Structure 1
Amino acid sequence: MADASRSTVINQTGTRRRERGHGRTRYPFGFRQGKVDRSLSTPMVSVISLVLLGVVLVIHTLIAAVMTRFFRIRLKTQWGSVIYALLLIPLVLGVTTLVFFGVLGISGGLTLGTPSLLGLAIGMPLALGFTIDVLYIPSPDEYELPETR
């Protein structure tokens, strides 16, 4: 006969085993007597949150590309445009990130940490915008500008 002080436990692989304990069945993953404990589950991200995140990324990439182009056209030195691109563009993207995710609150359901959000909303658009401007748009030297009076 089986010992009365042992109980059946389902381990993480889904197999049953006998364990000494309080004489009750222990359920893994937040299940208790067939019911799911909702406090252990994370909320799902809605489709609209992902679409709005994509819109923010496109807007940030456009801002980074246009600002990089502006600095390349206006500044006479090569390193001046790089320094301004690495200092001013992240500042502008940081402010717009605070507006989109803080004031407007479009991050519903997204559980991004600070480093992930900074990398996703500032780092990636900065790299994409700079790459688009440098590789895919002709150099400012190829354009003829009208003479100033």
Structure 2
Amino acid sequence: MVSAATVIGFLLIMVVNTVLAAVSIRFFRLRLSTQWGAVVYSAVFIPLMYFVTTILLSGFVGFGGTGVEDRGTALIVVWVIPFTLAVSLELFWMPAPDEVELPEQTG
């Protein structure tokens, strides 16, 4: 049976990963001049950030101990679902990068 600490730990990791991915994708889409640049940076840097946050926060969940029996399912819950949610937030609910006014860049 899954303990309450394990569920809270998973929810914490999911929320942190979703926020990190959503902010990163938005930043890449607004600042990079090409569409593929944002895709490549998102595909490379977001999994690296997920790796760091999962390592730092997984003590609450117990990836190495008895907290999770199936690591594949755990990684889907803490990596795939937050990334999918962040991409859907960016694509469907945020205004397009062309509609956002950025401050003038100096230098």
The alpha-carbon distance between structure 1 residues 91 and 112, as it changes in their structure 2 partners (threshold 3 A), is farther
Structure 1 position 81, deviation (Å)? 0.3
Task: Give the whole-Å Cα distance in 1 for the aligned partners of 2:2 and 2:76.
Answer: 19
* Bigger fraction of residues in helix: 2
What is the letter of the counterpart of residue 80 of structure 1? Answer: G
- Asked if structure 1 preserves the Cα contact closer than 8 Å seen for 2:21 and 2:82, the reply is yes
**Greater mean deviation of Cα atoms: 134-143 or 59-68:** 134-143
Question: SS at the partner of 1:106?
Answer: helix
In the TM superposition, what is the alpha-carbon distance from 1:143 to its structure 2 partner? 1.4
- Larger Rg belongs to: 1
Q: Distance in 2 between matches of 1:119 and 1:53?
A: 11
User: What's the C-alpha RMSD, in Å, of the aligned pairs?
Assistant: 1.5
User: How far apart, CA to CA, are the structure 2 residues paired with 1:145 and 1:70?
Assistant: 11
Query: Partner residue of 1:84?
Result: 41
Q: CA deviation at 1:48?
A: 2.7
Q: Counterpart in 2 of 1:57? A: 14
**1:107 aligns with one of 37, 58, 61:** 61
Structure 1: runs of 5+ lacking an equivalent:
1-43
> Greater relative contact order: 1 or 2 (C-alpha under 8 angstroms, separation 6 or more)?
2
Distance (Å, rounded) in 2 between the aligned partners of 1:148 and 1:91? 29
How far apart are 1:97 and its partner, in Å?
0.5
Structure 1 counterpart of 2:5, from 44, 48, 52: 48
Check conservation: 1:90, 1:126, Cα contact below 8 A.
no
Identical aligned pairs, as a percentage?
38
